[in-house]
Structure formats: structure tokens, C-alpha cells
Amino acid sequence: MKRLSWDQYFMAQSHLLANRSTCPRLAVGATIVRDKRIIAGGYNGSISGGVHCVDEGCYIIDGHCVRTIHAEMNAIIQCAKFGVATQGAEIYVTHFPCLQCCKAIIQSGIKTVYYATDYRNHPYAVELFDSANVKTKKVPFNNFFEHDNQAEKLKLFANIMKKLESAGVEEDEIKELYRQAQNIFSHDV
């Protein structure tokens, strides 16, 4: 069994949190860590008890959904709500923080931002992180749920389909098998 590094462990937690997102535009998760311990987590979504974008649609003003709270903000607010200090902590985020989250991260005393994916990295956010001595580090997420033999599965499936076609299986049946396989293989990654 391969053991996850700390960075992959905390990034996996952020990706797991992103699955709670109620934003249909982009699912983001954030995990705040201090001394190799998770102290808070957040995902982007509506306020507690509020209407969710997945149910009612996004409330867009100037190209941004104003209904949602970003994952980083939710995690920082969770710390404030429960009296957990963020000074000197680290945050693991699925996507590079927006400008507003960048400022909140700096103000909260978080010293390192680990992110898996570049996403509209605002030059001023990068500048602010630099000037506040907040380190940023890209940590691509290696999804340990993915199967290492995905290519082998696809090759086997293609060979089986060729044999079925040459055996005279109806075209509609072949198309349905392709559709089912596409569902299975797209959920594997």
C-alpha cells in the first residue's frame, strides 16, 4: 500500500470537501491545517439555511455569483465561529484563491497556501501574497481513487467491442454498450 504524503492527504481532504459544493459553476474545497492537524474545512456554497444555486440557479452580478461564499472564506469563518486560531496555519485549496479570498487568507494569519489547480490567478493576489510573505505552492492532486490500469481497461473494452461487431451484434446494442462504458469510465476518473 502506498502511503499519501501530507500534502496529498490534505489536498485529498479539500477535494472531498469540494464534493459538498452547491455551486454548479465550480466546486471548490479548502482545508486549514496547523501542526499537521486539520482545524477547519470549507466548500463554496450558499449561507447556512439559504437557497442553493444547484436548486435555484446562480445569482450573477458582474459575472460573479453573489449567492455563494467561497471555500476559503467558509473555512476561515468556521475557525472564527469556533474560536480556533489561524495564525501561522496553512490552507490547502483545490483552486488558486480569488483576490478577496487572498486578502482574507492574509488577514487571518495563514502563512502558506497550497493549491491544486491554477484558476484565474489574479496578478494582484500573487503580488499581495508575496508582499505579505505568504508562500504559495502548487500541489497537483494525485487522485488515489483512480485506478492505475485505466488504459488497460479501455484497451480490453475496445477489443471486446471489435469482436462483438465482427460477430454481428446489432448496431443499437453496440451503441448502448458504448454509452454504458462511457458512463463507467467517466466516473472512474
Q: Which active-site residues does the annotation give?
A: 72
Strand partners, 115: 93, 138
d(CA 152, CA 167): 23
| DSSP per residue, 98-113 | -HHHHHHHHHHT--EE
Query: DSSP assignment, residue 67?
Result: S
| Cell numbers linked to 149 | 490500469
Which sign, positive or negative, has the C-alpha torsion 85, 90, 94, 95? Answer: positive
At 24, the amino acid letter reads P
Strand partners, 164: none
Closest CA to 76 of 47, 35, 106: 106
Return all residues near 46 (Cβ < 8 A) that are at least 6 apart.
Answer: 22, 52, 53, 67, 68, 69
